[in-house]
């Protein structure tokens, strides 16, 4: 089951991004999407990344998840600097330390919940012997032990997202990255999924970052980062800052209507 974060000194970051720049195109068609982003992710925290369309959120998420390489700057995940890693080494780092959750679930319709989660454990076409048990444990941790043999068509939207979260958890990642995990869900299921994401973040060895536009889920955040025009404009911890907390509560209330 999900462990609780222990008390004590501030933990070391699991992920550090320092001066991240991303440029697409060349010459007259060059577009600088990220303009020197600095952030770190701490274990035990649920961080929300917010900002308008075109602000660089998705590009940043792709770089932090080792899907896309930055043009400039340093990225360190689990004490490994990514800049000079080969494509194969990047893939290994991503598989061993990063879990992804997407808005669209990305479940295979012809596979059961258990089989969908087991896919995350496939290593270059080879499935570990303990994959079924690890997948069962992951589904149990998200409250779906009774649905392991169910196909996606028979699952609700909230259950599908829980399977997606279980799939991300199966590999015991250091970092979980979620792209609009509540966008396709109604309010009740969205709240349930975010409570689960909050619980997941309280594992003392895991950091969770969610990209979102959904103000209804602000109350679950330990930290809220806003990005505009490729740079971080604000970085707040509402639970530690009365002004930021009041602003979060106002926006959360507005999002509920």
User: Using one digit for the tens of pLDDT, what is the confidence trace for 133-162?
Assistant: 999 999 999 999 999 999 999 999 999 999
Q: In whole angstroms, what is the distance from residue 89 CA to residue 3 CA? A: 29
* pLDDT at 11 (0 to 100): 83
Report the CATH number at residue 115: 3.40.50.300
Q: Is residue 9 part of a domain?
A: no
142 in a structural domain? yes
96 located within any domain:
yes
The parent domain of residue 211 ranges over 15-255
Question: Has residue 5 been placed in a domain?
Answer: no
For residue 50, pLDDT over 80 is answered with yes
| Interior/surface letters 48-78, b for 16+ CB within 10 angstroms, e for the rest | bbbbeeebbbbbbbbbbbbeeebeebebbbe
Mean pLDDT rounded to a whole number for the chain:
88
pLDDT score recorded for residue 254: 56
Q: Which residue has the higher pLDDT, 234 or 102?
A: 234
CA distances from 235 to 38, 66, 164, 218, 238 (A): 11, 23, 28, 14, 10
Q: Is residue 159 part of a domain?
A: yes
| Number of domain units in the chain | 1
Distance CA 165, CA 169 (A): 6
In a domain, 3, yes or no: no
> What number of other Cβ atoms are within 10 A of residue 173's Cβ?
25
Backbone angles phi, psi at 81, to 5 degrees: -80, 130
Position 226 in a domain = yes
């Amino acid at each position: 089951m999900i462990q609780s974060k222990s008390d004590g000194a501030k933990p070391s970051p699991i992920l550090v991004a320092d001066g991240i720049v991303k440029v697409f195109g060349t010459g007259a068609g060059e577009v600088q999407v990220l303009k020197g982003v600095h952030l770190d992710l701490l274990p035990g925290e649920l961080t929300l990344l917010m900002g308008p369309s075109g602000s660089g959120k998705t590009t940043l998420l792709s770089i932090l998840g080792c899907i896309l390489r930055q043009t400039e700057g340093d990225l360190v995940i689990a004490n490994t600097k990514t800049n000079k890693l080969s494509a194969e080494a990047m893939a290994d780092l991503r598989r061993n330390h990063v879990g992804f959750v997407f808005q669209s679930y990305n479940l295979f319709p012809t596979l059961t919940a258990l089989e969908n989660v087991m896919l995350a454990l496939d290593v270059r076409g080879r499935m570990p012997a303990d994959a079924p048990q690890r997948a069962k444990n992951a589904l149990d941790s998200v409250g779906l032990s009774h649905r392991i043999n169910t196909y996606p068509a028979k699952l609700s939207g909230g259950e599908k997202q829980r399977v997606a979260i279980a799939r991300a958890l199966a590999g015991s990642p250091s970092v979980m990255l979620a792209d609009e995990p509540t966008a396709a869900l109604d309010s009740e299921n969205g709240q349930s999924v975010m409570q689960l994401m909050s619980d997941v973040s309280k594992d003392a060895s895991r950091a969770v970052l969610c990209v979102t536009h959904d103000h209804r889920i602000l109350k679950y955040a330990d930290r809220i980062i806003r990005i505009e025009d490729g740079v971080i404009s604000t970085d707040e911890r509402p639970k530690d800052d009365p002004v930021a907390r009041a602003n979060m509560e106002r926006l959360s209330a507005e999002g509920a209507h």
